[in-house]
Amino acid sequence: MVKISAFHYIRTPSAKSRPAADFSDVAGGIGQPASSDDTDFDENEFDGLAMPGATTTGHGEFAPVVFEAGTAQHGQRLDKSLAAWMPAFSRSRIQQWIEHGAVQVNGKPSKTKATLMLGDRIDVAPEPAPEDLAFAPADVPLDVVYEDESLLVINKPAGLVVHPAAGNWSGTVLNGVLYRDPQASRLPRAGIVHRLDKETSGLMVIARTLTAQTDLVRQLQARTVKRTYLALVWGEPPESGTIDAPIGRDPRERTRMAIIESASGKPARTHFETLQTVDLGRSAISLVRCQLETGRTHQIRVHFQAFGYPLVGDPVYARAVTRGRAQVMRAPLPLPFERQALHAFRLGLRHPVDGRTLEWRAAPPADMLALMDALGFETDADDRNADD
């Protein structure tokens, strides 16, 4: 159960009295690094990222092989014999090959339960599983914001997965990086040092050398990487504040994260500022700027849901109910929006080679801007289109 004391925030006058949201610092300069003397970096960490030097799994060799049934295989099932001949592959995997016609006995497709006879010739053309090809290059378009010999900064669209995993073994940012730069195969995770959720858009940095990757990981561990998000949330949060509540795996639904007050919860802090609020029927929606002091999985989404202000469109957390905390009233949206309204619009770090302080910015994507327009948020079109 979430304790009220776990949330710390500063109340200031209502956000409705604030001027129109200014996107001049959002859209301006996209594609160009902005050097700055600002050293007020956010502390930011990312779960589950290995230091450079860790090994990654590549797809192995799947060359065709030929076996001949001997006395030990006479009278045995085909799949059982192949499992003994090829112990690196599971029996269920071998059965799939047989069903797909990748195994032939005496030049003809066979069946899993077929019985081998002495002298039978078995031709096997092993089929890679999707996960075996997870680290293969693929022509995945990447929106490159900045690039030099050490860094690659991209503006990831919503719907694009960063790293191959169950259910998304191909078509990821990692596959696109390998296609764009084959040398990235020499780096752990192809140089990827942090992630964005599949349906979260925005800026992320990728290392192009081992030296850069080592330095970026150290910056992340030291929490000196500045990352700022824009989010649309239901309700009217305080003008500004900090949500301070530990996050861990939801014990009731392991695919989700939740506020966990026990020892298994990891410290998590989200600083926020409410930029503007508009009414929607008997409800309201607010534009919030978030700074991460930590970087737990789904941190912003979990914190605002538990705080009582779930992200607009969030398919996982928008319908969740936190015990002991009333949820805000919601109304139908003027436009369909079926993903979390969350965008990483600003990224700042120290260049791993020359030490320059760099910052990049990217305006929210078209679907999020269209929703904001339909809701009546006051934004400056000239600022949003500065890079057109």
pLDDT of residue 90: 86
Domain end residue (candidates: 104, 127, 150): 127
pLDDT at 55 exceeding the cut of 60: no
Helices (H), 205-361: 210-221, 299-307
Place of tokens 């508009």: 278
pLDDT of residue 320: 60
Looking at per-residue confidence, does 130 or 341 come out higher?
Answer: 341
Confidence of residue 57 (pLDDT cuts 50, 70, 90): very low
Q: Domain total for the chain?
A: 2
Looking at per-residue confidence, does 384 or 199 come out higher?
Answer: 199
pLDDT of residue 330: 80
Same-domain check for residues 87 and 215: no
Same-domain check for residues 244 and 348: yes
pLDDT of residue 372: 97
pLDDT at 149 exceeding the cut of 80: yes
Domain end residue (candidates: 81, 100, 127): 127
Average pLDDT score over residue span 172-201: 94
pLDDT of residue 361: 97
Domain end residue (candidates: 127, 160, 178): 127
pLDDT at 263 exceeding the cut of 60: yes
Average pLDDT score over residue span 60-77: 87
Confidence of residue 165 (pLDDT cuts 50, 70, 90): confident
pLDDT at 44 exceeding the cut of 50: no
Element (H, E) at 175: helix 173-180
Average pLDDT score over residue span 25-33: 36
Here the CATH number for the domain that contains residue 96 is 3.10.290.10
Average pLDDT score over residue span 144-164: 96
Range of the domain at 301: 4-48+133-384
pLDDT of residue 32: 36
pLDDT of residue 321: 55
- Name the pTM for this structure: 0.72
Same-domain check for residues 212 and 87: no
pLDDT at 207 exceeding the cut of 90: yes
Residue 307: which of 231, 377, 200 has the closest Cα? 231
Same-domain check for residues 302 and 321: yes
pLDDT at 166 exceeding the cut of 60: yes
pLDDT of residue 254: 82
What pLDDT digit, counting tens, does each position of 76-115 carry? 999 999 999 998 888 888 999 999 999 999 999 999 999 9
Helices (H), 4-53: 24-27
pLDDT at 327 exceeding the cut of 70: no
Contact assessment for residue 297 and residue 333, using Cβ atoms and an 8 Å cutoff: no
Residue 349: which of 197, 146, 161, 201 has the closest Cα? 146
pLDDT at 382 exceeding the cut of 60: no
- Catalytic positions are 197
Same-domain check for residues 99 and 159: no
Same-domain check for residues 205 and 307: yes
What is the C-alpha to C-alpha distance for residues 100 and 41, in angstroms, rounded to an integer?
54
pLDDT at 19 exceeding the cut of 70: no
Q: Which residues contact 269 (CB under 8 A, 6 or more apart)?
A: 242, 243, 244, 292, 293, 294
Q: Which residues contact 322 (CB under 8 A, 6 or more apart)?
A: 2, 259, 305, 306, 308
Looking at per-residue confidence, does 39 or 296 come out higher?
Answer: 296
Same-domain check for residues 294 and 362: yes
pLDDT of residue 63: 82
Looking at per-residue confidence, does 205 or 129 come out higher?
Answer: 205
Same-domain check for residues 25 and 85: no
Residue 103: which of 59, 62, 64, 132 has the closest Cα? 64
pLDDT at 22 exceeding the cut of 70: no
Same-domain check for residues 260 and 335: yes
Contact assessment for residue 184 and residue 190, using Cβ atoms and an 8 Å cutoff: yes
Confidence of residue 50 (pLDDT cuts 50, 70, 90): very low
Lowest mean pLDDT, pick from 60-64, 117-121, 224-228, 346-350: 60-64
Segments of the chain assigned E as strands: 7-10, 65-68, 103-105, 108-109, 121-124, 144-147, 151-156, 201-207, 226-234, 240-244, 247-249, 257-259, 269-280, 283-292, 342-350, 357-361
What pLDDT digit, counting tens, does each position of 264-323 carry? 899 999 999 999 999 998 899 999 999 998 889 999 999 999 989 999 999 999 776 555
pLDDT of residue 223: 86
Looking at per-residue confidence, does 274 or 23 come out higher?
Answer: 274
The CA angle 252-261-239, to the nearest 5 degrees, is 105
β-pairing, 342-350 vs 201-207, is parallel
Same-domain check for residues 261 and 234: yes
